[in-house]
Amino acid sequence: MKNLTLKLSKLPHEQLIAVLNHHKHDSLGIPVTKAYAVEILSRWIVQGQLTIDDVVAFVPPIIAVPVGVNTDALVQIQAQVTKALDEVEVLRTSANTVIDNQYKDSVEYQKAFKELSARLNSEVKAVQAVDYSKVQADISKEVSKLLNQYKKVATVEEITALVSALPVCERKLVKDVFPHNVLHYEIDGHVTDFSNNTIEVWADPNAPTVDEDYIFTPKHLHQALIALDDALPDNVWLSGERGTGKTEFVNQVAGRLGRRLFRVNFDEALERSEFIGGNTIEGGNVVWKEGVITQAIQHVGAIILLDEIGFARAQNLAVLHALCERSAHRSIVIAETGVRIPVASHVVFFCADNSNGHGDASGNFAGVRDQNTAFLDRFSYTLQFEYLNFDDEVSLICTRTGLPRDATSVLVQFAQVAREKARAGILTQPPSIRQLFAWARAIRKGVPVGVAFENAIVNKFPSDCEAELRGVFSATIDVGSLKSYLTGGA
């Protein structure tokens, strides 16, 4: 068959077409490629319809060309048709090649798929055959090994400290945490109500005790809660005269939010080693010991109160700049060890001072220093504290000490006049609410009014203030009337 096809392929295309036409092939009149003609004639020869010699010897009939037809043009047309048919044959061959290749690829893909399927089935069977009880036992064994290693190097105290450092908190409405009467305030005729704001409430067992009697200043509480409501909180500066409740404000915010409070009281003598840490001798070895601030910054959610910071020396505060920076990278590098200690999430700094960081203009607080501007800039908000209004201060002292309200009103009237004297520079300092608490408790327990006044007020002031204080006492307090209030008299 191969030799037959070869012989036919050597014959002219026109001769092969003429043989097909002569035998009335059903493609008569339809253009046929040479390859197709060879295929048909090969089949006829094999079937015995004609022989190869018949095809070779066949002489195409001479077709009379009508008068006026250009024979040269006709030959050219025939040549073009033949060429076109050959090009079609080339395309058909290429198409067949592409089809064959795709088929081969399909076969290869099917083979690969079957192999993958068989491997996956094998792996699934292997998984199904796993003894899960043995796997669980192996896991438990390895976990026990790890825990045993940890137990060898960690004390109970260290584990307790680690657990207490873990953040445990939930979001609550402000009105579910703080008294309703301090959750709104009016400024320029506009009432701001923040009772439906949410705040994170923690569950630190070492948080300060909540004092239900403490009276918050609404606008200060609102700003403080906004400052605290972030993993990277805003630091807050509290400014105001002594006895205006700055320290207690921080205590009560921390207590109601369930956050641990670390407090550092600054004075002239406080050294860096006392609040940051320093080297000490233990068992004949030099050991670095953490200070309160270094411990505090590692406690997630801690509130750090820098109290009376106006008395601190500038060189001691320089180390706090990096800690108070509102940056995700805030940290301190311990010079003695080279160790970098980052500040934990939600840690915030409050500063309490008699001034707003720019020194004491009244002259009542000797030793209060101007603060470095760069340090002040690390506190986003400054809250100015004033004494409670008359009614609130009376209510607070009554509740705390049990002194009758009329008697308490007399003490508060004295305090307000004395405070005006302090603002005018006549007294070196105003009476604080702590002094009023002490005075009221002494009176309620039977100490004579005048004696209690000397012990709780006069003796706590410089000697040059005594005359002025006694003058205010005489002008504002009728001892007889006050004593009648204690016994319920008119």
pLDDT tens, residue by residue, 212-258: 989 999 999 999 999 999 999 999 999 988 888 899 999 999 999 99
**Amino acid 367: pLDDT:** 45
**Amino acid 490: pLDDT:** 46
Average of pLDDT values for 293-320?
Answer: 86
Q: How far apart are CA 301 and CA 231, in angstroms?
A: 8
Q: Calculate what percentage of the chain has a pLDDT beyond 90.
A: 40
Phi, psi (degrees; rounded to nearest 5) at 290: -70, 145
Domain ranges of the chain: 2-63, 133-163, 166-385, 390-487
In a 10 Å sphere around its CB, with 0-12 CB exposed, 13-18 middle and 19+ buried, how is residue 250 labelled? buried
Which residue type is seen at 153?
V
Q: How far apart are CA 216 and CA 391, in angstroms?
A: 14
Q: Select the more confidently predicted residue: 385 or 22.
A: 385
**Amino acid 233: pLDDT:** 95
**Amino acid 138: pLDDT:** 75
pLDDT-derived band of residue 197, with 50, 70 and 90 as boundaries? very high
**Amino acid 28: pLDDT:** 46
**Other Cβ atoms within 10 Å of 3 Cβ, number:** 8
Q: How far apart are CA 183 and CA 159, in angstroms?
A: 39
Instruction: Check residue 328 and report its DSSP letter.
Output: T
Place of tokens 């204690």: 486
Highest mean pLDDT: which range of 123-132, 185-194, 416-425: 185-194
Q: How far apart are CA 40 and CA 36, in angstroms?
A: 6
pLDDT-derived band of residue 390, with 50, 70 and 90 as boundaries? very high
Q: Tell me the two tokens of residue 382.
A: 């400054």
Is 207 a residue whose pLDDT tops 90?
A: yes
Average of pLDDT values for 50-70?
Answer: 69
Stretch among 22-31, 53-62, 235-244 having the lowest mean pLDDT: 22-31
**Amino acid 429: pLDDT:** 83
**Other Cβ atoms within 10 Å of 81 Cβ, number:** 12
Q: How far apart are CA 31 and CA 400, in angstroms?
A: 117
**Amino acid 252: pLDDT:** 96
Distances (CA, A) of 35 to 31, 113, 305: 12, 39, 100
Are the beta carbons of 316 and 369 closer than 8 angstroms? no
Are the beta carbons of 439 and 403 closer than 8 angstroms? no
- Of 330, 324, 345, 349, the closest CA to residue 202 belongs to 345
Which residues, at least 6 apart from 149, have a Cβ–Cβ distance to it below 8 Å? none
Are the beta carbons of 350 and 223 closer than 8 angstroms? no
User: Where does 166-385 sit in CATH, by number?
Assistant: 3.40.50.300
**Amino acid 365: pLDDT:** 46
Instruction: Check residue 176 and report its DSSP letter.
Output: G
Q: Helices 479-487 and 449-456: crossing angle, nearest 10°?
A: 110
Stretch among 76-90, 309-323, 415-429 having the lowest mean pLDDT: 76-90
Query: Chain-centre distance of CA 355, in angstroms?
Result: 34
pLDDT-derived band of residue 306, with 50, 70 and 90 as boundaries? very high
Q: Tell me the two tokens of residue 65.
A: 């060309």
Q: How far apart are CA 233 and CA 325, in angstroms?
A: 10
Is 469 a residue whose pLDDT tops 90?
A: yes
pLDDT-derived band of residue 167, with 50, 70 and 90 as boundaries? low
Alpha helices in 280-362 (DSSP H): 292-296, 314-317, 321-324
Stretch among 41-55, 66-80, 89-103, 403-417 having the lowest mean pLDDT: 66-80
Instruction: Check residue 354 and report its DSSP letter.
Output: S
Which pTM was predicted? Answer: 0.61
Q: Select the more confidently predicted residue: 413 or 314.
A: 413
pLDDT-derived band of residue 126, with 50, 70 and 90 as boundaries? low
Instruction: Check residue 230 and report its DSSP letter.
Output: S
**Amino acid 364: pLDDT:** 47
Average of pLDDT values for 104-111?
Answer: 73
pLDDT tens, residue by residue, 345-360: 999 999 998 875 555 5
Q: Tell me the two tokens of residue 274.
A: 């006392």
Q: Select the more confidently predicted residue: 141 or 455.
A: 455
**Beta strand ranges found along 72-187 (DSSP E):** 169-173, 184-187
